[in-house]
A and B are shown apart, each in its own frame.
Chain A
Amino acid sequence: MDFLGEVLAWYAAPERWSGRDSLPALLGGHLALTIASLAVALAIALPVGLYIGHTGRAAQLVVAVSNIGRAVPSLGWLGIVYPITTGLFARSGHGFLPGLIALVALAIPPVVTNTYAGLREVDADLQEAGRGMGMTEMQLLRRVEVPAALPVILAGVRSAAVAVVATAPLMSIVGADTLGDYILAGLALGDQVEVFAAAVLVAALALLTELGLGALQRRSVSPGIAGAERGFGEPAEGAPAQPAWPG
C-alpha cells in the first residue's frame, strides 16, 4: 500500500473513532484547550490594550509585552510554567493547566499590541467630534474608537487564535490532550504515517482558523467607515484630487 493509502487507512481505522485516544476525543481536547486559552488571554489583553490605547498611558508596557512575546518561544513558556504548576498542584499541575498558561502567554502580546495600535490610529478628528457631542470617555471608547479600530483589533485576535491553535499540539509534551498526542507518539515510535496524518489535521485546523477569522475580520468594518480605504480627510471617489489651480 502506498504512503497516502496508509494515511487514509489511519484516518479510517476503528481505534481512531472510539476510546480516549480517538480523533473526536483529542480534537475535542485540542479545541477546549484552544478556546479556554483564547478566552483567558482576551479577558486580560483586551482591557489592558483598550486602557492603554484610549489613555495613551503606560505605552511602554505595550512595547515590553510585544518584545517579550517575540523573544520567549512557546516552549520556553511551557518549560517555565510546568515545574511551577506541578510544584503547586500534584495532579492538575500536568496537562491542561500548564498548557493553558503557556498558550495564554503566547496569545496576549498580539492582542495587546493590535488593540493599542488600532485605537491609536483612530482619527483625532473623530475623537474630537465625539467629545464635542458630549460623549463621556466610556461612550467615546465604545461608540467611536472601538468600532473604528475593530478591524485592527480583530487582526490581533486572529493572530492570537491561529498561534494558539497551531501551538496547542506542543502542549501534549506535558500531557495535555491535543492532536499533538499522535505526533509525539508517532515520533517516539517512528510511525511516519501517524505523524503525517496528524500533522495534516493540525495544519488544516490552523488554516481553517486563519480563513474563518479572516472573513470575520473583513466583515467587521463599521458601516460608517466601510469603503473608506482611502482614509479620512482624503477626497471621496469622483471628487477632484486637488482643488483646480486658479487660472
Chain B
Amino acid sequence: MREGQPFFRVDWIVDNLDVLARRLGEHVLVTVIAVVVGFVLSFALALLVRRFPRLYGPILGISGVLYAIPSIALFVLLIPITGLSLLTAEIALVSYTLVILVRNIVTGLRSIPPEVIEAAAGMGYTGGQRLWRVELPLALPIIVAGLRIATVTTIGLVTIATLIGRGGLGYLIVNIGINQRFPTATLVGVGLVVALSAVVDWGLLVGQRRLTPWYETRVG
C-alpha cells in the first residue's frame, strides 16, 4: 500500500465508474463466449456419446487431462500459435468447461428412466423427437447444474487471463490493485467477480426452475 493513503477509497470508485463498467463488460463477454462455445461443443460430444457409448471413456479422459493443466500454463502455451489474443484466452477457457459440461449432459441423458424412453417410443417418437421433447427436458436440471458450475468456474478463471491482457476484472485485481499497490481496485474487482458469480448462478437456477415446472422445487 502506498504511504499515507486510506485502505479503501470510495472517491476512486466514483471517479472510475466507466473503467469499472468497461472491465465488467469485458469479463462478461469473455465468459459468455467461453460458456456458449463450451456448451455447444459439449452438447455435440454428449450426443456422440449417446450414439456411441464407448466414446465416453476417451472423451472424459482427454477433457480430464485438459482440465488438469494449470490455467496459467494453458493461457500461455498457445501464445506461439495464436498470440496474445482473445482466441488464446477462449481456447483455454473452453477447454476447462468441457469436462464439467460433457459429464453432466451425459449423466442427465442417462438418468432418464427406461420406462419413459419406452413410452416415448410407444407413442411413435423418432430418436430425434425423443431427444428434444422427452430426454432433454427431463435432463435439464442436471445439465443446468453443470452449466452453473462451468460458468462460475469460468468467471473465476477469466481473472487469470489478465496475464495475456484479456482478464476483465482481473485487470483491476492484478494490474491496478497488486502491481500499483492500490487495494481499492482489488477489493472492487473481487467484489464484482463474486457478485457476478452469484447473480449468474442464481439466474441459471431460476431459469431452470421456470423451464421445468414439473419437478418439485425443494427448498435448500
**A70 close to B7 (CB less than 8 A):** no
**A75 close to B73 (CB less than 8 A):** no
Chain A residues within 8 Å of B163, by CB: 183-184, 187
Chain A contact residues, majority secondary structure: helix
Tell me whether A173 is interfacial, beta carbon within 8 Å.
yes
* CB interface residues, A 203-224, toward B, < 8 Å: 203, 206-207, 210
Residue in contact with B70 in the complex, picked from A73, A80, A86, A166, CB distance below 8 Å: A166
**A75 close to B159 (CB less than 8 A):** yes
**Binary contact track A74-98/B, C-beta < 8 Å → 1, others 0:** 1110111011001100000000000
Tell me whether B138 is interfacial, beta carbon within 8 Å.
no
- Residues of chain A at interface, number, CB under 8 A: 38
Chain B residues within 8 Å of A169, by CB: 70, 72-73
**A80 close to B73 (CB less than 8 A):** no
Residue in contact with B193 in the complex, picked from A72, A162, A173, CB distance below 8 Å: A72
Nearest residue, chain B, Cβ from A77: B190
Chain B residues within 8 Å of A71, by CB: 152, 156, 193-194, 197-198
Nearest CB on B from A195, distance (A):
5
**A173 close to B178 (CB less than 8 A):** yes
**A166 close to B71 (CB less than 8 A):** yes
Tell me whether A200 is interfacial, beta carbon within 8 Å.
yes
Complex formed: what's the CA distance from A247 to B4 in Å?
A: 90
Nearest CB on B from A71, distance (A):
5
Tell me whether A192 is interfacial, beta carbon within 8 Å.
yes
**A203 close to B69 (CB less than 8 A):** yes
Nearest CB on A from B77, distance (A):
5
Of B32-40, B52-60, B120-128, B181-189, which binds chain A? B181-189
Tell me whether B94 is interfacial, beta carbon within 8 Å.
no
Tell me whether A167 is interfacial, beta carbon within 8 Å.
yes
**A83 close to B7 (CB less than 8 A):** yes
Tell me whether A196 is interfacial, beta carbon within 8 Å.
yes
Contact A75 to B174, CB < 8 A, known contacts A83-B1, A187-B164: yes
**Binary contact track A124-138/B, C-beta < 8 Å → 1, others 0:** 000000000000000
Q: Which residues does B use to contact A, with CB under 8 Å?
A: 1, 7, 65, 68-74, 76-77, 79-80, 149, 152-153, 155-157, 159-160, 162-164, 170, 173-174, 177-179, 181, 183, 186-187, 189-190, 193-194, 197-198
Given contacts A75-B173, A80-B186, A170-B72, 8 further A-B pairs with CB under 8 A are A71-B156, A76-B159, A79-B177, A180-B72, A183-B163, A195-B79, A206-B69, A206-B70
| Subset of 14 A-B contacts with CB under 8 Å | A70-B153, A75-B178, A76-B173, A76-B189, A79-B173, A162-B68, A167-B70, A180-B72, A192-B79, A195-B79, A200-B77, A202-B70, A206-B70, A210-B68
Q: Which residues does A use to contact B, with CB under 8 Å?
A: 3, 70-76, 78-80, 82-83, 86-87, 162, 165-167, 169-170, 173-174, 180, 183-184, 186-187, 192, 195-196, 199-200, 202-203, 206-207, 210
